Amino acid sequence: MQNVTKLGPNRFEQGLVWIMPALVGAAIGWFLPAIVDFLLRMPFLSSQGILLLIDSFSPLFVSIAGVAVGILLGLLLSTAAFHESLVVDVSDTDVIVMKNNKQRKFLKKDIYAVFVEEKSLVILGPNGKELYRETIDVKQDKVEQAFWHHRYPWVESDPFANAYRLWTLSDEACGEAANKVLYSRRIALREEEREQAERLREDLRELGIAVKDKGEEQYIRFM
Protein backbone atom coordinates (compact mmCIF):
# COMPACT_ATOMS: atom_id res chain seq x y z
CA MET A 1 0.00 0.00 0.00
CA GLN A 2 1.39 3.40 -1.00
CA ASN A 3 2.37 5.76 1.81
CA VAL A 4 0.30 8.95 1.41
CA THR A 5 0.26 12.11 3.51
CA LYS A 6 -3.00 14.08 3.24
CA LEU A 7 -2.98 17.85 3.66
CA GLY A 8 -6.30 19.57 4.25
CA PRO A 9 -8.90 20.18 6.95
CA ASN A 10 -8.49 17.70 9.83
CA ARG A 11 -11.44 15.81 11.35
CA PHE A 12 -12.06 18.43 14.04
CA GLU A 13 -12.08 21.22 11.46
CA GLN A 14 -14.33 19.19 9.17
CA GLY A 15 -16.74 18.65 12.07
CA LEU A 16 -16.86 22.36 12.81
CA VAL A 17 -17.48 23.19 9.16
CA TRP A 18 -20.41 20.77 9.04
CA ILE A 19 -21.92 21.51 12.47
CA MET A 20 -21.51 25.26 13.07
CA PRO A 21 -23.37 26.64 10.01
CA ALA A 22 -26.22 24.18 10.61
CA LEU A 23 -26.45 25.15 14.30
CA VAL A 24 -26.41 28.86 13.51
CA GLY A 25 -29.05 28.37 10.84
CA ALA A 26 -31.23 26.34 13.21
CA ALA A 27 -30.92 28.96 15.96
CA ILE A 28 -31.89 31.80 13.62
CA GLY A 29 -34.79 29.72 12.32
CA TRP A 30 -36.09 28.92 15.83
CA PHE A 31 -36.10 32.58 16.85
CA LEU A 32 -37.49 33.73 13.48
CA PRO A 33 -40.93 34.70 14.94
CA ALA A 34 -39.26 36.99 17.48
CA ILE A 35 -36.97 38.44 14.78
CA VAL A 36 -39.94 39.14 12.48
CA ASP A 37 -41.89 40.72 15.35
CA PHE A 38 -38.92 42.98 16.13
CA LEU A 39 -38.53 44.03 12.49
CA LEU A 40 -42.23 44.80 12.13
CA ARG A 41 -41.93 47.29 15.00
CA MET A 42 -39.64 49.40 12.83
CA PRO A 43 -41.67 52.01 10.90
CA PHE A 44 -39.76 51.62 7.63
CA LEU A 45 -40.27 47.82 7.65
CA SER A 46 -43.79 47.56 9.03
CA SER A 47 -45.39 47.28 5.58
CA GLN A 48 -43.00 44.69 4.11
CA GLY A 49 -45.09 41.93 2.53
CA ILE A 50 -42.73 39.04 3.25
CA LEU A 51 -42.55 39.93 6.94
CA LEU A 52 -46.35 40.25 7.19
CA LEU A 53 -46.73 36.89 5.44
CA ILE A 54 -44.41 35.14 7.89
CA ASP A 55 -46.17 36.84 10.80
CA SER A 56 -49.53 35.51 9.60
CA PHE A 57 -48.52 31.92 10.45
CA SER A 58 -48.42 30.49 13.96
CA PRO A 59 -45.12 31.11 15.79
CA LEU A 60 -44.55 27.37 16.35
CA PHE A 61 -44.98 26.59 12.64
CA VAL A 62 -42.63 29.43 11.69
CA SER A 63 -40.02 28.21 14.20
CA ILE A 64 -40.12 24.61 13.00
CA ALA A 65 -40.02 25.62 9.34
CA GLY A 66 -37.26 28.13 10.13
CA VAL A 67 -35.14 25.46 11.82
CA ALA A 68 -35.51 23.11 8.85
CA VAL A 69 -34.62 25.81 6.32
CA GLY A 70 -31.77 27.07 8.52
CA ILE A 71 -30.21 23.61 8.79
CA LEU A 72 -30.55 23.07 5.04
CA LEU A 73 -28.91 26.41 4.22
CA GLY A 74 -26.16 25.67 6.74
CA LEU A 75 -25.40 22.32 5.12
CA LEU A 76 -25.35 23.92 1.68
CA LEU A 77 -22.88 26.50 2.99
CA SER A 78 -20.72 23.73 4.47
CA THR A 79 -20.73 21.84 1.17
CA ALA A 80 -19.61 24.97 -0.68
CA ALA A 81 -16.85 25.53 1.90
CA PHE A 82 -15.50 21.99 1.40
CA HIS A 83 -15.49 22.42 -2.36
CA GLU A 84 -13.46 25.60 -1.90
CA SER A 85 -10.88 23.90 0.35
CA LEU A 86 -7.71 22.55 -1.22
CA VAL A 87 -6.83 18.92 -0.37
CA VAL A 88 -3.38 17.59 -1.25
CA ASP A 89 -2.23 13.95 -1.27
CA VAL A 90 1.55 13.63 -1.17
CA SER A 91 3.15 10.25 -1.90
CA ASP A 92 6.64 9.05 -2.80
CA THR A 93 5.81 9.16 -6.50
CA ASP A 94 3.33 11.97 -7.09
CA VAL A 95 1.28 14.87 -5.72
CA ILE A 96 -2.49 14.98 -6.23
CA VAL A 97 -4.33 18.25 -5.64
CA MET A 98 -8.12 18.46 -5.36
CA LYS A 99 -10.38 21.51 -5.27
CA ASN A 100 -13.87 22.31 -6.57
CA ASN A 101 -14.32 18.67 -7.60
CA LYS A 102 -11.29 19.01 -9.89
CA GLN A 103 -8.19 16.86 -9.53
CA ARG A 104 -4.70 17.28 -10.91
CA LYS A 105 -1.68 15.00 -10.62
CA PHE A 106 2.01 15.95 -10.71
CA LEU A 107 4.70 13.27 -10.92
CA LYS A 108 7.62 13.65 -8.56
CA LYS A 109 10.12 13.42 -11.41
CA ASP A 110 8.53 16.48 -13.04
CA ILE A 111 8.74 18.69 -9.93
CA TYR A 112 11.67 21.12 -9.67
CA ALA A 113 10.64 22.94 -6.46
CA VAL A 114 7.79 23.19 -3.95
CA PHE A 115 7.16 26.04 -1.51
CA VAL A 116 4.46 28.08 0.23
CA GLU A 117 4.17 31.77 -0.57
CA GLU A 118 1.54 34.06 0.98
CA LYS A 119 -0.45 30.97 2.09
CA SER A 120 -0.39 29.53 -1.44
CA LEU A 121 1.09 26.17 -2.34
CA VAL A 122 3.33 26.59 -5.38
CA ILE A 123 4.73 23.75 -7.50
CA LEU A 124 7.40 24.46 -10.11
CA GLY A 125 8.41 22.19 -12.95
CA PRO A 126 11.47 21.96 -15.19
CA ASN A 127 13.09 25.29 -16.10
CA GLY A 128 11.04 27.03 -13.42
CA LYS A 129 7.71 26.57 -15.18
CA GLU A 130 4.91 27.21 -12.70
CA LEU A 131 2.71 24.12 -12.63
CA TYR A 132 0.38 25.04 -9.79
CA ARG A 133 -0.46 27.86 -7.36
CA GLU A 134 -3.41 27.69 -4.96
CA THR A 135 -4.31 28.81 -1.46
CA ILE A 136 -3.89 26.07 1.14
CA ASP A 137 -5.48 26.27 4.61
CA VAL A 138 -2.78 24.25 6.33
CA LYS A 139 0.08 25.56 8.47
CA GLN A 140 3.27 25.98 6.48
CA ASP A 141 5.39 23.81 8.77
CA LYS A 142 2.98 20.90 8.32
CA VAL A 143 3.08 21.30 4.53
CA GLU A 144 6.88 21.45 4.64
CA GLN A 145 7.12 18.31 6.78
CA ALA A 146 4.89 16.38 4.37
CA PHE A 147 7.00 17.20 1.33
CA TRP A 148 10.28 16.63 3.16
CA HIS A 149 8.98 13.26 4.40
CA HIS A 150 8.38 12.12 0.82
CA ARG A 151 11.68 13.66 -0.34
CA TYR A 152 10.45 16.40 -2.62
CA PRO A 153 12.64 19.41 -3.51
CA TRP A 154 11.22 21.77 -0.89
CA VAL A 155 12.57 25.35 -0.89
CA GLU A 156 11.98 28.13 1.63
CA SER A 157 11.07 30.78 -0.94
CA ASP A 158 10.48 31.30 -4.65
CA PRO A 159 13.81 30.81 -6.45
CA PHE A 160 12.51 33.08 -9.23
CA ALA A 161 11.17 35.84 -6.98
CA ASN A 162 13.49 38.48 -8.48
CA ALA A 163 12.19 37.73 -11.97
CA TYR A 164 8.71 39.09 -11.26
CA ARG A 165 7.72 42.62 -12.22
CA LEU A 166 4.55 44.66 -12.04
CA TRP A 167 2.32 44.37 -15.10
CA THR A 168 0.79 47.54 -16.51
CA LEU A 169 -1.49 48.29 -19.44
CA SER A 170 1.44 49.79 -21.33
CA ASP A 171 3.52 46.60 -21.08
CA GLU A 172 4.71 45.80 -24.61
CA ALA A 173 6.91 42.80 -23.77
CA CYS A 174 4.00 40.45 -23.09
CA GLY A 175 2.41 40.64 -26.50
CA GLU A 176 -1.15 41.48 -27.45
CA ALA A 177 -2.67 38.09 -26.54
CA ALA A 178 -1.17 38.01 -23.03
CA ASN A 179 -2.07 41.65 -22.38
CA LYS A 180 -5.71 40.92 -23.20
CA VAL A 181 -5.74 38.01 -20.75
CA LEU A 182 -4.01 40.06 -18.04
CA TYR A 183 -6.47 42.92 -18.52
CA SER A 184 -9.44 40.52 -18.26
CA ARG A 185 -7.87 38.98 -15.18
CA ARG A 186 -7.43 42.37 -13.54
CA ILE A 187 -11.15 43.00 -14.00
CA ALA A 188 -11.90 39.57 -12.49
CA LEU A 189 -9.72 40.37 -9.46
CA ARG A 190 -11.45 43.73 -8.95
CA GLU A 191 -14.86 42.09 -9.13
CA GLU A 192 -13.68 39.26 -6.83
CA GLU A 193 -14.43 36.59 -9.44
CA ARG A 194 -11.88 34.11 -8.14
CA GLU A 195 -12.76 31.17 -10.38
CA GLN A 196 -12.50 33.34 -13.48
CA ALA A 197 -9.16 34.72 -12.28
CA GLU A 198 -7.83 31.17 -11.84
CA ARG A 199 -8.99 30.13 -15.30
CA LEU A 200 -7.19 33.13 -16.78
CA ARG A 201 -4.07 32.21 -14.78
CA GLU A 202 -4.11 28.86 -16.61
CA ASP A 203 -4.38 30.70 -19.93
CA LEU A 204 -1.33 32.77 -19.02
CA ARG A 205 0.65 29.63 -18.16
CA GLU A 206 -0.08 28.34 -21.66
CA LEU A 207 1.31 31.62 -22.98
CA GLY A 208 4.47 31.13 -20.91
CA ILE A 209 3.69 33.68 -18.17
CA ALA A 210 3.50 33.09 -14.42
CA VAL A 211 1.46 35.58 -12.40
CA LYS A 212 1.00 36.27 -8.71
CA ASP A 213 -1.20 38.87 -7.08
CA LYS A 214 -0.73 41.60 -4.52
CA GLY A 215 -4.22 42.95 -4.04
CA GLU A 216 -5.46 43.95 -7.48
CA GLU A 217 -1.93 44.26 -8.88
CA GLN A 218 -0.46 41.46 -10.98
CA TYR A 219 3.23 40.61 -10.98
CA ILE A 220 4.47 38.53 -13.88
CA ARG A 221 7.53 36.61 -15.05
CA PHE A 222 8.26 34.83 -18.30
CA MET A 223 8.77 31.06 -18.09
pLDDT for the residue numbered 53: 75
Orientation angle between helical segments 194-206 and 176-190, nearest 10 degrees: 160
- Confidence grade of residue 216 (pLDDT, cut at 50, 70, 90): confident
pLDDT exceeds 70 at position 44: no
Whole-angstrom Cα distance, residue 211 to residue 159? 15
pLDDT exceeds 70 at position 190: yes
Burial 133-144 (b: 16+ CB within 10 A, else e): bbebebeeeebb
- Confidence grade of residue 61 (pLDDT, cut at 50, 70, 90): confident
Orientation angle between helical segments 32-40 and 11-30, nearest 10 degrees: 50
Burial 30-56 (b: 16+ CB within 10 A, else e): bbbbebbeeebeeeeeeeeeebeebee
pTM of the model: 0.72
DSSP letters for 163-199: G-EE--TT--SS-HHHHHHHHHHHHHHHTT-HHHHHH
